[in-house]
Structure 1
């Protein structure tokens, strides 16, 4: 059994990954500033350090106190639109905060790290499905902050021998099968979450931004990866680093996409009532199709998604949202 420090472990993806790591018999410590995460999402008995990565002394104290064998790094601001309006906040939090963490990991013996990256590092892709060696041209400040952290990790590995795995997620969705934890972001921007909150009467209608894309039904297509499958990928990435595997990057997606209309149709089916929809113009920078080529992680780590049925994915999210219509506070 290894001891792991999980930054952002009280958040959506982090809390699901904490449970997967515990199921794999790891000892887990969570570090989270709780500005977007939730104390209630951390399992009973798991130590929670309430601290911010921008507090360099607190980060170093946590690592010195717990001496983790590896770190899983989720803590970040994640809203694309907000990052364009307040880039200083995103560079400070995501980039400077990560630098504080990496510096501490280097100083305590180059502790291996799994980094929560994003498909946003690719920007507008030249080829779909997108392989890991595709050009990195992020179109948002959020994507840039994640790519800068990847650059820092590469430099730290070359200079200090800091082993790492970058996991580039596509559209994360769904919830734990228990319905006890799920998605509860301060700012609601994810399609399935927005649709289910609309079904609960918390929003009037669903906006479809563009139906004139070069796709079968004219709406954008995205690769939707269930959060528990993503958590499994983190468990495998941790194991590979602890076994001494070299640093690398993996895409994590199911390898095919669903359109906006297909997602909304699935939500209608699950909740039993059609949502009110309104078509609006395209949003600038929205690619027609973003789908992962996840063949590398399948071949090298043996990862395979267990949740590929769209209705099943929506059902798991609906179990959480219908049982917790106002999130953890409800």
Structure 2
């Protein structure tokens, strides 16, 4: 069970530990929602996030069981999607990274959003797997010497260390191509216009309006002083956009209307940026063994991060406010159906690697 959102606390409110509060509204402009009340409890120095009155009717939700069940389904499909065939080396390389474990947060978000709007998870599994293929591609390429130059990923040598740079590049390219092929050929019982809409959303999230834009600005910012606004731009595009696409595509595939999709988009933008803020915090607070990747690398390379620009304490406060804003968007939905997304927001905030 996620420590921030236990079944007991969700019946009333979620309590998230922190040291102190500050508005940080200047850096929350695109996420701020006026109805989101974040209350400081001076006695125990915690921030309380009031949830919808509907949470009084929220059933006991077994979050860990939910995550395990969904991840198992995703892993079975991913395994079948890349059989070991000729050329053997490229398929070994793809499978090495695609099946290396991971929490499967993005594909699970896709399934949860689909089910929230009344869809069945089977219709969204091809899209969920496509999102994970693209995420894996981004990790393979991000680790390359010409990018972030890392030797460790999920506790194992990075793809280019195991198979060579040329193979790693091609493995990433193949995964990107396979992702769109997989959605187009495996999605069933969904209106064609919805499939096309979701594919367009996913494509936008990785192109020059999404992941590529964030990576490019990140590269161009190396060795330069970066403002908080510029850092936000990098991470909204490099990290948050794909998380946003996972949620939005799930809602589209599930049959969500325009208003519902946009509310879930706002939720996803908050947790997407939250994911990166937490990543920055973990980079300076955890060891390489705990993270499964090289710790302290951003600090050593003088890379702009939230703890470096804001200080560790205020970075944690920023993360807490993002959780609050994400939760606010879920107040519009049935609490039982939204339970996975409540818990996933807390899970992202409290993750340790």
Fold match, TM over 0.5? no
Higher normalized helix content (fraction of residues):
2
Q: Which has the higher contact order (CA 8 A, sep 6+)?
A: 2
TM-score by length of 2: 0.30
